[in-house]
Amino acid sequence: MTEYQLGQRPDTLLITLSGRDRPGVTSSTLATLALAGVDVVDLEQIVLRGRLVLGLLVTAPESPGAAAALRTAIEETAHALDMSVEIEAGTGDRPHRPRQRARVTVLGTPLKAAALGAVTRSIAGHGGNIDRIIRLARYPVTAFDLHVSGADPDELRLALAADAVAQEVDIAVQPANLTRRGMRLIVMDVDSTLIDGEVIEMLAAHAGCEAEVAAVTESAMRGEVDFTESLRARVKLLQGVPASALDEVYAGLQLNPGARTMVRTLRRLGYRFAIVSGGFSQITDRLAADLGIHFARANELEIVDGVLTGELVGEVVDRAGKATALQEFAAELGISEAATVAIGDGANDLDMLAAAGLGIAYNAKPAVRSAAGTAINVPYLDTIMYLLGISRDEIEAADAEAGIVTPAPPV
């Protein structure tokens, strides 16, 4: 505290203790500060693998003598706790904190040091400072949430998109504002997003034309052919398939991993869910009822005398229709589009992803990944919750309270 020796009393002092964590470190330190009569301006604490770092910003004593007494008392307290301590002049309470703040979520399986190093270099290269890093999950993916200040979120998103590709990790950049906490509607595509596979291909297997339909589906999802035309052409091939095939297909559906966990957890927090599909209402309505999803919109297959006619009833839910559905659901709930999350994998999802406050390309085609603001390329749908700042520990704790047992991760 040389400022005292120079006759320049600092406004604040930064006291940092570090060492093995144990009960009573924080309370003992605060008790010592209470005897000195100082005010606590800021306080941060972190425990990592049993090691604790405690930082306290306090008002500086009025006189050099009182400051020396405080130093001695803190050092004695730290010694009794077997902790290391540093005391230095503080830098105030950061009244001019940069206005531009972002949350950068990084996911990897595994997450290598080289990848995380590339991300942090890009953040620094764009004028960003990492104020805090929080681990959100360690299994089955590793996920970290980086609190960044001083960098423009839009510029950072573009820069980190290149790192995501080069380092084979997933990176999401969002402005650190109330909107992230206010996300209240999740709108999902169904085929290859909520479920594994394409319903129309499963139905085509009953008509003996699965390969032909799959080829057109793949081309449509890449955006190479008009979705509406391709859908009508594929549905035409289903003519004559018994309606009972819909029951067989539904019975064989496989949800993507983490789907139930995501819906269950976010419903506890008051979120609403919608599914919007270029598939068929005979399937999606049942999915919505099974999962507790609030809204569903899809195409309707025409059925006459218990047989598919090869035609659709009503307007096609196409690329524009998906975005319209999101907007209408948000309006019905009385929330802004900025408070929505959209998840999809195909070209016909792009308008919906663009309309949402957070658009996520989930295991998507390359053209969709490059056009979407955020991409997730791991096969776990519940990783979406990490982008909302929800940790795996919080998810599992909520399940435990509800009596749901989560398998222990590998050591």
Distance CA 74, CA 88 (A): 12
DSSP code, position 374: E
21 is annotated as an active-site residue: no
d(CA 317, CA 300): 9
Strand positions, DSSP E, 245-357:
272-280, 295-304, 307-313, 340-344
User: Which of the following is catalytic: 191, 318, 345, 349?
Assistant: 191
Cα separation of 183 and 170, whole Å?
A: 21
Cβ burial of 255 (10 Å; 0-12, 13-18, 19+) is middle
- Is 191 designated active site? yes
Q: Which of 163, 170, 189, 318 is catalytic?
A: 189
Would you say 286 and 297 are in contact if contact means Cβ atoms under 8 Å apart? no
Contact 255, 244 (CB under 8 A): no
User: Are 227 and 312 contacting, i.e. CB atoms less than 8 angstroms apart?
Assistant: no
Q: How far apart are CA 202 and CA 10, in angstroms?
A: 72
**Structural tokens at position 315:** 């307007």
Q: Rounded to the nearest 5°, which phi and psi values hold at 9? A: -75, 125
DSSP bridge partners of 147:
103, 132
* Bond into 257 cis (ω within 30): no
Query: What are φ and ψ of residue 64, in 5° steps?
Result: -60, -35
Give the Cα-Cα-Cα angle 338, 341, 344 (nearest 5 degrees).
135
Q: Which residues are catalytic?
A: 189, 191
